[in-house]
């Protein structure tokens, strides 16, 4: 995995795995969806595809063919919204070309840029017919109808309960086949107000779905072929849901419940805040074979001064102690992290504290970013902004260290046998690709029939961003709680 790969699942088209089927109906209206940013956006795009599928849309990978183009945007760093505007410039040309051929094209901007910028988007890019925030996608049919009447539609209400309600209603109905590894949003929004971050403003306050809603959706997913679920939330380990008897559950208890669902062999969750790693959640890593030995636990900085300025509300020592407790519970866990370099006021010493933290923790992978000023956040108006060239130099140094740790971590898998959930065809004929328990892609020689199964694989070769392995003869689809046992033996 590259440093940025999993969080920056970014800039991908979301074709037809799900509700929307590619070219299933040749005369159907076609939708082209591009997803930027985090996995929550990937999940939202999939749910938008579900909604559009029931409206008779089929998916296309070619924007030129599309009757509807949706950009599902991310606002976390400034470049992301600039990318959206430049993409809209390109779309304008395609829309004009289609108009010459007598064909219509509707253009929608969804996600956090839509939420943050609202009607500014259609002012700046008149090609846009429809602007809607992350909490409105279930109302897409209604919004599309309005927009096709010629109105410019801007819908940025926060009505997260309605969205969750809708998700749960859908989950109760049968769905088309889902991929072997899929996302499930359990929580949205954030109350932490880190001083660099727009999420509390774009996604709003923290809201959790109920145990029942989540369990229903997870069962439905398992019945549709999903073997691995990643629970999603901007602050996922702050999730707390109401159980049937009025008790409040934490994420650890939820994971235990989900592990009982037949056919669901692997669980993951992301993204976590160090302050919300409850004992019960750490114990779930010790006790649950289904819970994969991988944890994304952003610290952002290794300097106490900067952590305080970021409003992270913990110290570096508290983070070290937390990591020790997690590793005690799950010794082979792969840790991943986010770092920001060049937060306002960051000195060379502060930066060296971050480098020291990385050396001490030893990560399997990490994402790292230059601080960018996000309008409306406290950080944007802090004095002592760090010059761009200093940020660039620090980022380079940090990424080199992380790259070395990632290489070392990957190399430590050489010769190991582990379980791999096979997810898709590989780049070469006769090759399939899956994920190791530590979220590394593993390429294997094998037939497509293996997709959706969990196989014992010996890791034979390590490349920069992925592993290569070979099937261990005689092992076929390892099912159940022993399949991914991560307390030594099984892996
Ligand atoms: N500048 C740089 N990086 C940021 N992130 C969030 N906001 C900013 C910002 N203003 C990073 C954090 C977060 C990840 C998703 O994006 O590291 O954990
Ligand atoms: Fe943003 Fe901080 Fe909330 Fe994460 S915990 S979403 S970084 S405010």
- pLDDT digits over 394-415, tens only? 999 999 999 999 999 999 999 9
**Which CATH number applies to 161-411?**
3.80.30.20
Ligand 2 atom closest to the CA of 191, numbered from 1: 3
Total-model pTM: 0.85
Cβ of 312 less than 6 Å from ligand 1: no
State both tokens at 407: 């290489």
In the three-class reduction of DSSP (H, G, I as helix; E, B as strand; rest coil), residue 187 is classed as: strand
**Which CATH number applies to 413-491?**
2.40.50.140
The dihedral through the CA atoms of 223, 229, 234, 237 has a sign that is positive
Distance CA 430, CA 471 (A): 13
Ligand 1 atom closest to the CA of 370, numbered from 1: 2
Do the annotations mark residue 337 as ligand-binding?
Answer: no
Cβ of 76 less than 6 Å from ligand 1: yes
Is 229's pLDDT higher than 80?
A: yes
Distance CA 337, CA 367 (A): 6
Distance CA 171, CA 182 (A): 14
- Taking the CA of 370 as reference, the closest ligand is 1
Q: Pairing between strand 294-296 and 266-270? A: unpaired
Distance CA 422, CA 176 (A): 19
**Under CATH, to which class is 12-157 assigned?**
alpha beta
Ligand 2 atom closest to the CA of 190, numbered from 1: 3
**Can you spell out the DSSP letters for 94-121?**
HHHHHHHTT---EEEEEHHHHHHHTTHH
Q: Where are the domains of the chain?
A: 12-157, 161-411, 413-491
**Can you spell out the DSSP letters for 189-244?**
--S---TT--HHHHT-S-EE--HHHHHHHHHHHHHTT--EEEEE-TTGGG-EEE-T
- Taking the CA of 337 as reference, the closest ligand is 1
Half-sphere exposure of 162 (CA within 13 A, CB side): 9
pLDDT tens-place string over residues 62-93: 999 999 999 999 888 777 778 899 999 999 99
pLDDT recorded at residue 475:
57
Cβ of 190 less than 6 Å from ligand 2: yes
- Taking the CA of 203 as reference, the closest ligand is 2
Share above pLDDT 70 across residues of the chain, in percent, rounded to a whole number = 88
Which of 369, 397, 232, 360 has the alpha carbon at shortest distance from 310? 369
Distance CA 110, CA 117 (A): 11
Mean pLDDT computed over 264-269: 98
Across 339-366, b (16+ Cβ under 10 Å) vs e yields bbbbbbbbeeebbebbbebbeebebbbb
Task: State phi, psi for 134 to the nearest 5 degrees.
Answer: -60, -15
Is there a contact between 412 and 363 (Cβ–Cβ < 8 Å)?
Answer: no
> What are the Cα distances from residue 353, in Å, to 320, 359, 379, 389, 456?
13, 10, 20, 19, 40
- Lowest mean pLDDT segment, chosen from 247-256, 365-374, 465-474: 465-474
Is 167's pLDDT higher than 60?
A: yes
DSSP letter (8 states) at residue 273:
-
């Amino acid at each position: 995995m590259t440093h940025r790969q999993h969080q920056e699942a970014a800039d991908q088209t979301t074709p037809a795995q799900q509700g929307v089927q590619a070219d299933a109906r040749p005369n159907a209206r076609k939708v082209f969806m591009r997803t930027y940013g985090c996995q929550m956006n990937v999940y939202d795009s999939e749910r938008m595809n579900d909604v559009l599928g029931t409206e008779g849309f089929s998916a296309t990978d070619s924007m030129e063919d599309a009757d509807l183009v949706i950009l599902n945007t991310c606002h976390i760093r400034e470049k992301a919204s600039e990318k959206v505007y430049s993409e809209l410039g390109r779309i304008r040309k395609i829309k004009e070309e289609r108009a010459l051929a007598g064909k219509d094209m509707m253009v929608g901007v969804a996600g956090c840029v839509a939420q943050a910028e609202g009607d500014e988007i259609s002012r700046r890019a008149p090609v846009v017919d429809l602007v809607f925030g992350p909490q409105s996608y279930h109302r897409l049919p209604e919004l599309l109808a309005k927009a096709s009447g010629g109105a410019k539609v801007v819908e940025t209400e926060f009505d997260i309960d309605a969205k969750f309600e809708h998700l749960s209603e859908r989950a109760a109905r049968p769905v088309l086949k889902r991929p072997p590894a899929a996302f499930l949003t359990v929580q949205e929004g954030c109350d932490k107000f880190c001083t660099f971050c727009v999420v509390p403003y774009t996604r709003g306050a923290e809201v959790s779905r109920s145990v029942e809603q989540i369990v229903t959706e997870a069962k439905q997913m398992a019945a549709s072929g999903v073997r691995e679920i990643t629970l999603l939330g901007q602050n996922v380990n702050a999730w707390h849901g109401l159980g049937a008897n009025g008790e409040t559950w934490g994420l650890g208890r939820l994971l235990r419940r989900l592990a009982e669902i037949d056919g669901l062999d692997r669980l993951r969750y992301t993204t976590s805040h160090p302050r919300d790693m409850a004992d019960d959640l750490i114990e779930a890593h010790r006790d649950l074979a289904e819970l994969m030995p991988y944890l994304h636990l952003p610290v952002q900085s290794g300097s106490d001064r900067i952590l305080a300025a970021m409003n992270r509300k913990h110290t570096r020592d508290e983070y070290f102690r937390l990591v020790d407790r997690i590793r005690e519970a799950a010794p082979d866990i792969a840790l991943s992290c986010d770092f920001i370099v060049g937060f306002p006021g960051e000195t060379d010493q502060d930066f060296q504290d971050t480098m020291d933290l990385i050396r001490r923790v030893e990560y399997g992978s990490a994402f790292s970013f230059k601080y960018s000023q996000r309008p409306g956040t406290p950080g944007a108006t802090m004095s002592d902004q760090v010059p761009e060239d200093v940020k660039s130099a620090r980022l380079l140094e940090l990424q080199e260290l992380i790259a070395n740790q990632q290489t070392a971590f990957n190399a430590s898998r050489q010769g190991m046998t582990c379980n791999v959930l096979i997810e898709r065809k590989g780049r070469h004929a006769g090759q399939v690709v899956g994920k190791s328990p530590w979220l590394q892609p593993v390429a294997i020689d094998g037939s497509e029939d293996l997709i959706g199964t969990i196989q014992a694989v010996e890791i034979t070769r390590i490349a920069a961003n992925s592993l290569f392995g070979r099937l261990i003869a005689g092992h076929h689809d390892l099912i159940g709680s022993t399949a991914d046992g991560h307390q030594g033996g099984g892996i």
